[in-house]
Structures are given as C-alpha cells and as structure tokens.
Amino acid sequence: MHGTTRAIRPAVDGSPVPHLIATLITLLSGIIAGLSITWLTVVGTPPTGMVRLGVWAFAPRVGASDVDPYVRGATVVRGDLPLGIGEGLALTAQSDSMGDPLDARCAYGLSGAIPSARYWTLARYAPDGTVADATTRRHAFTSSEIVRAHDGTFEITIARTVQPGNWLPLGDESRFVLMLRLYDTPLSASATTLRETDLPTISRRACQP
Amino acid sequence: MTVLFYALMFMVAAGLAHIVSLFALADLSGTDAHARLAAIAPENSMRVVGPARETGLPFAEPAVVLALCRYDLSRGPLRVAARTGDTFVSLTFIEPGSRVFHGLTDRTAAQGTVEVVLATPAQLRRISALDAPDDIVQEIRVIAPQPHGMVIVRALHPFASQRGETERTLSQATCEIEQLPE
C-alpha cells in the first residue's frame, strides 16, 4: 500500500497525497459519526415518517410492511408492538397545547373531537412506556367508560389530585406521555385525511409548586 | 483539495455506516417486540398471555388481552382461527425484527370467527391448485414473507369487568400447522 502511495506522491500541483493513517482515521471517524447518527435518530423522535398534528404525533405507516426505516428503528429500540395498518392507529402526546412538556405536577384537561373509531382508549405512561402503578391506580380510559355531557362532548381531567368527572390519576413520575389509540378506524388506511381539529386538545390548569 | 478529499471520504463512510446500521438494527438489536415475545410464545400453538402489560412490552395497552403464536411454516401452512365476541378482536402478523406484514380486525369474520391461512408463496400456490373450481373460500389467505414469525391476537375489553370474559373468548383461538395432501 505504501509503495503505491509514494508512487503517486509527485502530484503536479504539489498538494500532499492521502496518507494511509490519515485515511484510516477519516474512515473510522466517519463510521463512528454514522453510527452515532443512527443512535440519535432511533432513540428520539424519528426524523421522517412521522405526522404531527397539534400536540399529537403518529407514524401512519408504522403497521405496514413499507414502514419508514427511522420509524421502524425507533420501534425496534423501544420494543413496543405496533398496531397493524388495518387494526388501528396510535397517537402520542408529549406536550400540552401551549407546547410545554407534560408535567405530572400540573393538572390537564383533555377535550375536543376524537376521530371516528369503533373504540378508542387514552392511556398515560412514563416517557419510557412503563406504568409504575398499573395495578393500583387507573391509568387509562376506554371510549365506553367515559362520562359524557348531554350534547355528547366530554372532558378528561388528568391530575394527581382527585377530580370530578373523568379523572385520569397521575402517578409519581415527573414527566408523562399520553397515548390515544383508535381501534378499527377508517383513518388507519389513509391517515393523511386527519386534521388537527379532529383531535383533542390538552390544556394545562393549575400546577403544584 | 486534500481537505475536500478527506471530507468526502468522511461523509461517504458516515453515510454508509448510518444506512447499514439503521437497516441491520432490526435484526441485530434483540430489543424488538418479536424478540421479547418469542420467549413466551409457544411454537405453532396459541397461548393467552392475559393483559398486554404482562408481556413486559413498553406502552402496553391496558384494555387489551393478548394471545401469541410463534410459527414455523417449514412443515406446512398455518391456520389461525379466533372467535370474535361483542367487542374488538384483531390479528397482527409480524416478522422477526417486528415488521408488521399484515393486520386485520374482526370485521373480516365469517360466522363469528376470523380465520386466516398463513402460507409461503409456494404453499399458497399449492393451496390454490387444490381449491375446487366452484368452492367459496371462507378463510383469508395471507402470504408470509418468511417462514418464521408471530401472530398476535388482541381482544379489547371496553370495561375492566369484561376482562375475564374476553380472556375466555380469546382462549378459544387456535393456531395449527396444516398438512397439505401430497
């Protein structure tokens, strides 16, 4: 290798030729950079394949065989089981309608429209997807369990302290995420028709110090 | 010139490493749902595991009970049948690496049962050749992209009190290899 490098050394413009060690260092740092980019894109929110509508984010093709590679990478690393494209759609909220991250010291009101689906569920999780107190406390509602007003509208209050109506108690974690799952929805095949006004809003109320 | 050359080399190396690792991740990580569930799913038979959180998977749906069946199509196609109840029942088909290649709901049920035959492309050609010309095919036929994978049956209970009933409905789900006639 060295022989070849030396042989082409006398370049016309006198610029130094690539050196073996410099080449190796460049390649190695390139590989490390490439692997780091992979890691960063799969542990966070995937850079492509996601749709964001208001507070909600979802991957329309996560349950299809042509899933976006970044979405698939993130799913593999988290280890959750996606819903197939013909089964339903899962949407995640990490922040309230003002854009602030969901904080378990605050109370939140979730209200507004829910896209048409045979059933839907709303569940809270720690950001890593665990639920510490799943057996002792409610951490989800199904569409059948919701108490509605006379006009069919509803509100879910998400707070640590006891609330009247549909109360989703928060656990001891500091941050939390909400997941809205729509089962058997015509949207799952064509989620592009979904608009922000079809989805509920999350507004922050009082916060504990 | 030299700086440009090294910069280009760096970018090509980074790009290749990124793309290769991104696509290899699903098969190498071992953290995906298929890898985690493979330990508790029986091969070519159905097992009810109960609430989704008992699988240890993150973001488990609390209102759903699961049944699992890991399959190996090398000895023949797989027939999956699940009774449907009053509520939502769905089937998810995943490959190793957790890519979902098919998903369907109880809307496709005939006479209260969702019935799916999962086969390799070669097996499916054989099955179609065996069909009598005027037969009405009741089951849904799905092509498996590879001979190994998993079927997950989800059954939703809208009220927590319906969990027992939902698990009983789910326990009638079956997952069996069928022998094709020679």
User: What is this model's ipTM?
Assistant: 0.89
The distance of B70 to chain A (nearest Cα, Å) reads: 15
Burial class of residue B9 (count of CB atoms within 10 Å of its CB; 0-12, 13-18, 19+): middle
Shortest Cα distance from A207 to chain B (angstroms)?
26
pLDDT digits (tens, 9 = 90+) for A56-93: 999 999 999 999 999 999 999 999 999 998 899 999 99
For residues A111 and B12, what is the distance between their CA atoms, to the nearest angstrom?
Answer: 49
Q: Distance from B159 to chain A by nearest Cα, in Å?
A: 7
Which residues face A207 on adjacent strands?
Answer: A106
Asked if A42 and B32 come within 8 Å (Cβ–Cβ), the reply is: no
Distances (CA, A) of B113 to B70, B85, B172: 20, 9, 10
Q: What is the pLDDT of residues B106-150, one digit of tens each?
A: 988 888 899 999 999 999 999 988 887 777 778 899 999 999 999
Are residues A26 and B159, on separate chains, in Cβ contact within 8 Å?
Answer: no
3-state SS assignment for residue B166: helix
Q: Do A84 and B22 touch (CB under 8 A)?
A: no
User: Which of B88, B98, B156 has the CB atom closest to A76's CB atom?
Assistant: B98
CB-based contact B104 A134, cutoff 8 Å: no
pLDDT of residue A4: 46
Structure confidence by residue, pLDDT tens digits, A127-138: 999 988 877 788
Q: What was the pLDDT predicted at B130?
A: 86
> pLDDT band at A188, cuts 50/70/90?
low
